[in-house]
């Protein structure tokens, strides 16, 4: 896939995006919940019910996305009306986070929001990579072809987000997608290990180390 040059989007004005690294003993599967909470915290939003619900309804889109992720992780079903409104937003990432939140809170009929996000161009949007990982967490590997395309784009942020999702596809390794494509997850791990940016390589090494499978250890030793 040949992608046109794409520049990383500017950081939102006034929003702090740097969050503390996850604790060494935190399982990788909990990283995104941790980052969403910390993104709220470093921007002055207390991790309390009322504060998170307010951020969900009134915050900057970046913080709304983090709040949508957090209310679902906390099981706050009272956030469902606000999440339903957010799936109508024009912001792709907020819409994706809200859809994932609704499914996590038991409204599986909103899974289609994630499926729709897969149809966006991965070289121009962040939501396809996020949605692919969200679906994999929900037991649906249909985003694998999109994830593979994300590793071919020039945008570092897209590749980082795609890399974050790899661990969630491991249960589907060597199975086939609905159109018969074999899902070689370790081939994508290997590709990420060869990425020119060290942050991508560090992230994939963290996942492989936690996996500890023979295939994962082989790739780590080769890297």
Residue 130 lies in a domain: no
- Total-model pTM: 0.89
Q: Are residues 170 and 97 in the same domain?
A: no
Q: Are residues 154 and 112 in the same domain?
A: no
Q: Are residues 87 and 170 in the same domain?
A: no
What local confidence, expressed as pLDDT, does residue 6 receive? Answer: 40
User: Quick one: tokens of 139?
Assistant: 């037991």
Residue 129 lies in a domain: no
Q: Which residues contact 38 (CB under 8 A, 6 or more apart)?
A: 19, 20
Distance CA 206, CA 21 (A): 12
Residue 55 lies in a domain: yes
Q: Are residues 102 and 150 in the same domain?
A: no
Q: Are residues 113 and 144 in the same domain?
A: no
What local confidence, expressed as pLDDT, does residue 223 receive? Answer: 61
Residue 132 lies in a domain: no
Q: What is the pLDDT of residues 2-19, one digit of tens each?
A: 443 443 444 445 889 999
Q: What is the pLDDT of residues 21-33, one digit of tens each?
A: 999 899 999 999 9
What local confidence, expressed as pLDDT, does residue 90 receive? Answer: 81
User: Quick one: tokens of 110?
Assistant: 């909103």
Q: Are residues 85 and 145 in the same domain?
A: no
Residue 168 lies in a domain: yes
Range of the domain at 161: 140-223
Q: Are residues 107 and 150 in the same domain?
A: no
Q: Are residues 69 and 152 in the same domain?
A: no
Q: Are residues 48 and 113 in the same domain?
A: yes
Q: Are residues 39 and 107 in the same domain?
A: yes
Residue 75 lies in a domain: yes
| Residue 154 main-chain phi, psi, to 5 deg | -80, -20
Q: Which of 186, 160, 157 is nearest to 174 (CA)?
A: 186
**Cβ 127 vs Cβ 120: under 8 Å:** yes
Our count of domains for the chain comes to 2
- For the chain, residues with pLDDT lower than 50 are 1-12
Residue 93 lies in a domain: yes
Instruction: Count CA atoms within 13 Å of residue 190 on its CB side.
Output: 10
Q: Are residues 178 and 219 in the same domain?
A: yes
Written in H, E and C, the secondary structure of the chain is CCCCCCCCCCCCCCCCCCCCCCCCCCCHHHHHHHHHHHHHHHCCCCCCHHHHHHHHHHCCHHHHHHHHHHHHHCCCHHHHHHHHHHCCCCCHHHHHHHHHHHHHCCCHHHHHHHHHHCCCCCCCCCHHHHHHHHHHHCCCCCCHHHHHHHCCCCCHHHHHHHHHCHHHHHHHCCCECCCCCECCHHHHHHHHHCCCCHHHHHHHHHHHHHHCCHHHHHHHHHC
User: Quick one: tokens of 13?
Assistant: 């004005």
What local confidence, expressed as pLDDT, does residue 190 receive? Answer: 96
Residue 216 lies in a domain: yes
Query: How crowded is residue 38: how many other Cβ atoms within 10 Å of its Cβ?
Result: 19
What local confidence, expressed as pLDDT, does residue 2 receive? Answer: 41
Q: Are residues 144 and 112 in the same domain?
A: no
Domain boundary among 82, 117, 152: 117
What local confidence, expressed as pLDDT, does residue 13 receive? Answer: 53
Burial of 117: CB neighbours in 10 Å, binned 0-12, 13-18, 19+: buried
């Amino acid at each position: 896939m040949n992608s046109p040059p794409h520049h990383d989007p500017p950081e939102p004005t006034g929003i702090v995006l740097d969050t503390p690294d996850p604790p060494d003993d935190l399982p990788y599967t909990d990283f995104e919940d941790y980052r969403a909470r910390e993104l709220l915290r470093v921007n002055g939003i207390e991790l309390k019910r009322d504060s998170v619900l307010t951020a969900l309804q009134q915050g900057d889109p970046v913080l709304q996305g983090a709040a949508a992720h957090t209310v679902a992780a906390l099981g706050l079903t009272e956030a469902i009306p606000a999440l339903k409104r957010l799936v109508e937003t024009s912001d792709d990432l907020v819409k994706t986070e809200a859809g994932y939140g609704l499914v996590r809170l038991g409204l599986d009929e909103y899974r289609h929001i994630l499926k729709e996000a897969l149809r966006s161009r991965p070289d121009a949007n962040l939501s396809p990579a996020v949605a692919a990982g969200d679906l994999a967490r929900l037991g649906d590997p249909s985003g694998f072809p999109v994830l593979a395309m994300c590793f071919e784009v020039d945008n570092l942020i897209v590749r980082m987000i795609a890399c974050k999702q790899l661990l969630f596809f491991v249960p589907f390794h060597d199975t086939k997608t609905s159109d018969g494509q074999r899902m070689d997850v370790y081939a994508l791990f290997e590709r990420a290990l060869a990425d020119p940016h060290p942050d991508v390589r560090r992230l994939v090494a963290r996942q492989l180390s936690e996996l500890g499978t023979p295939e994962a250890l082989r790739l780590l030793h080769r890297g």
